[in-house]
Each structure stands twice: as structure tokens, then as C-alpha cells.
């Protein structure tokens, strides 16, 4: 079993209810250890859309990185996610943020998440549940990444 941190986000429909359903569905392959509070955040990358709600999940899994990605995509699809513009509205978005000390660099998957260090909406919920986690390759902790984050977008726990 390996420690994993996922970030679930949604900005359309019944956001809180669907995030909770997403957490339940992900538990088919990830044994939950702790979930963060839900955070509201201004949308990154594309304005003119509703704010996102995000929740981080810390868990343990025996799935491979590719199998975990497959599970995430299946849960997103069952929540009604459709292809659309990058950083556009989402029925459900599930990102693999960390997977122990593993580094994955494939065209379809990068772990740790390549944009996490610059995204307050990711770092706040992740730091709530895994502040001491070391982020490969240099081992900077999630807490230290949050302290150094210069993302100006507003994010707060609800």
C-alpha cells in the first residue's frame, strides 16, 4: 500500500453533494485516511465561470499510478464529466497530486501534479491533511510549498 493524495473539484451543479459522492466512489480503490474541509476558490485559467469547490483526500492504495488514473477517469465520467475547454467548467475533476515518493513522467500522467506548487486551491486543502508530505524530487513539504505560493486567487474553507 502506498500513500496517495487526490484533489477533487467541481464548479457546476450540486457541488457539495457531488464532491461527497466522488469521495465515496474513489474509495473503491483508495482506502480513505482523511479528507480536508471543502474549499471554495476562484477559477484558475479561465474567468467568467462559477467558483470551484475542492476537497483533498489522503488515502492508501495498492493501485498502480495508471490504474489510479483509470479509476479517477471512471469516477469523473460517472459524475457526468464531458470533454470541454481546458480549465473550463467541470462536473467533477480528480487530480492525482501525490503518490508516496513516486515520480511519474508519462505523456498521459505526471506525478507529483506538475501545477500543484502554484495553485493555492490545491495546496490549502492538501496542507490541511498532509502538511508534512515530502514532494519529489527535492522533498519540499506541502506546508513549505504553501508558504511559498504566490497564487493571488482567493481560496477559503467553507
Domain map (residue ranges) of the chain:
2-157
Active-site pick, 15, 58, 90, 119: 90
Active-site pick, 3, 20, 37, 81: 81
Residue 95 designated active-site: yes
pLDDT tens per residue across all 158 residues of the chain: 999 999 999 998 889 999 999 999 999 999 999 999 999 999 887 777 899 999 999 999 999 999 999 999 999 998 876 665 565 577 899 999 999 999 999 999 999 999 999 999 999 999 999 999 999 999 999 999 999 999 999 999 99
Q: At what angle do helices 15-26 and 65-78 cross, to 10 degrees?
A: 140
Q: How much is the pLDDT for 87?
A: 59
Residue 24 designated active-site: no
Active-site pick, 10, 18, 95, 119: 95
* Cβ 95 vs Cβ 7: under 8 Å: yes
Tell the burial category of 97 from Cβ atoms under 10 Å away from its Cβ (0-12, 13-18, 19+): buried
Q: How much is the pLDDT for 5?
A: 98
Residue 90 designated active-site: yes
* Cβ 2 vs Cβ 99: under 8 Å: yes
Domain range 2-157, CATH class: alpha beta
Q: How much is the pLDDT for 86?
A: 61
Please list the alpha-helical segments (H only) found in 36-102: 65-78
Q: How much is the pLDDT for 48?
A: 75
Q: Look at the block and give the residue holding cell 457546476.
A: 12
Residue 14 designated active-site: no
Amino acid at each position: 500500500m502506498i500513500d496517495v493524495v487526490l484533489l477533487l473539484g467541481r464548479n457546476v451543479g450540486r457541488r457539495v453533494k457531488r464532491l461527497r459522492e466522488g469521495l465515496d466512489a474513489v474509495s473503491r480503490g483508495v482506502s480513505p485516511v482523511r479528507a480536508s474541509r471543502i474549499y471554495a476558490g476562484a477559477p484558475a485559467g479561465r474567468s467568467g465561470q462559477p467558483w470551484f469547490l475542492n476537497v483533498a483526500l489522503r488515502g492508501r492504495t495498492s493501485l498502480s499510478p495508471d490504474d489510479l488514473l483509470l479509476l479517477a477517469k471512471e469516477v469523473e465520467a460517472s459524475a457526468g464529466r464531458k470533454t470541454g475547454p481546458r480549465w473550463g467548467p467541470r462536473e467533477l475533476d480528480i487530480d492525482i497530486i501525490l503518490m508516496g515518493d513516486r515520480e511519474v513522467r508519462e505523456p498521459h500522467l505526471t506525478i507529483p501534479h506538475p501545477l500543484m506548487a502554484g495553485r493555492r486551491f490545491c495546496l490549502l486543502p492538501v496542507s490541511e491533511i498532509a502538511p508534512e508530505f515530502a514532494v519529489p524530487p527535492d522533498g519540499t513539504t506541502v506546508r513549505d510549498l504553501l508558504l511559498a505560493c504566490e497564487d493571488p486567487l482567493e481560496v477559503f474553507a467553507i
